[in-house]
Every structure is written in structure tokens, then in C-alpha cells.
Amino acid sequence: MAKWREDPPGSSRWRKQLWVHGQPHQLTFKGAKADAELHEAQRRIELGAVTARANGTSVYAFEDFCASQYKPWAKAHLRESTYKVRHFQLENLILHFGRLKLPKLSDAMVEAYKLKRLAEHAEKAMVNSELNALSAVKTYARDIVKVPCADFKIRRFKVSKRRDKVECWTRDEVLRILAATQREAKCSSRSSCSCSRLACGRARRWPSNGSAFLSSGAS
């Protein structure tokens, strides 16, 4: 298979000859090489190369299907921000499943992937998002382009949503806290100085009934 050639070197202009049904097609693209490969995948779909392969006896490997079919479709139909996330989600899936044929995917393989990602210290929520991407690939393969693909099950982790507890004190509770703090201040002042209670700065730090504190917004 011909490879992309940068012509001239360093110009970000890529050229490649693509053969479809015995006919040559010259592809040109300006930009990053990764985008050039997506352009090639889109052209294969437009020229009928993918349809011819899907109707034949051969089946897709997982990484081939993602590169030539699902990624171009996702880039065209998903929001740009969503596609950027989906692109990175697919990278981990492709690294794991690689050349495995779509009809060979199984429930056990999905469970093995989940355990592998946990062993790599990935959060369960992150693994679930990658499983969502795997589900999208499966749906696109089976229901949209209708290529041979196993009907495997995807069981996501149960992740409890964090709910921070917010406590609110009543007026009486605030007064009890202030009273306890005031008593502690009195004890500290008596052990460290010999002045009277009214003259001691520590003792006069807190109001006697907490009214000043409450009037400032604690009520």
C-alpha cells in the first residue's frame, strides 16, 4: 500500500496514490499527516472502497474499522469538542483490541479491558467513558454500515455520585457554640493574667450573648 509522501519536505503538503477497484486516484492534502489519513478514509468511503470490502468475505480489524470508518464519521457528525474527547477515548481501545477482528469481540474481552485499565490506575468514570466510545463503535458497525461485528455486552462500572453534605446551624446552636468558646476564653485569661474579667481583653473578645456575631450574618 502506498504511503503518504510530503512534497516538498517540510511543506505539510501530502500526496498519495489510492487504488480503488483497479483505478488510481491521486490524493493531495495540506495539513497534519494524521488529518491526511482521515481525509484518505473519507475518500475511500466516497469512492466505494469501504462498501466493496463490507460486502465481501473479509472483515474489519478493530483498529482498521476505527481509522477508516468510525473516526471520519464521528469527526463529521460530532461536535468538535466531543470528537476531541472521543479521539483520545478510542486510542486506549485501539491499543488494547488492535488487530482483533470485530466478530471476535466478546463479553470476556470487554471485562478484561476494564480490569486492565483499572490496573493502569484509570478512574472508573474514565473507563466508563471509554466503554461509551466502544458502544458507539459497535452501534455504528452493526446498525449503520452493517459490517460483521459481534453483539457483545458492555457492563459499565457503578459509580456513585459525590454529594457534599451542607450543614446549617440554628440560632440556639450558634449561641451554645459562642457560650462554650467564651467559657474557654475566660479560663485561659484567668490562668495567664490576674486582671479582672471585664478588663481582660481575652474575656471581652466574645460578646456575652452572641448578638453581635448573629447580627453580622450568622442568623
Domain ranges of the chain: 5-144, 171-218
pLDDT at 214 over 60: no
Q: What are phi and psi of 5, to 5 degrees?
A: -125, 125
Neighbours of 72 (CB within 10 A): 22
Q: What is the pLDDT of residues 168-194, one digit of tens each?
A: 778 787 788 888 887 776 665 555 554
CATH topology of domain 5-144: DNA polymerase; domain 1 (1.10.150)
pLDDT tens figures, 64-113: 999 988 999 898 888 989 999 999 999 999 999 999 999 999 999 999 99
Q: All 3 cell numbers of residue 158?
A: 457503578
Cell numbers standing for residue 97: 483490541
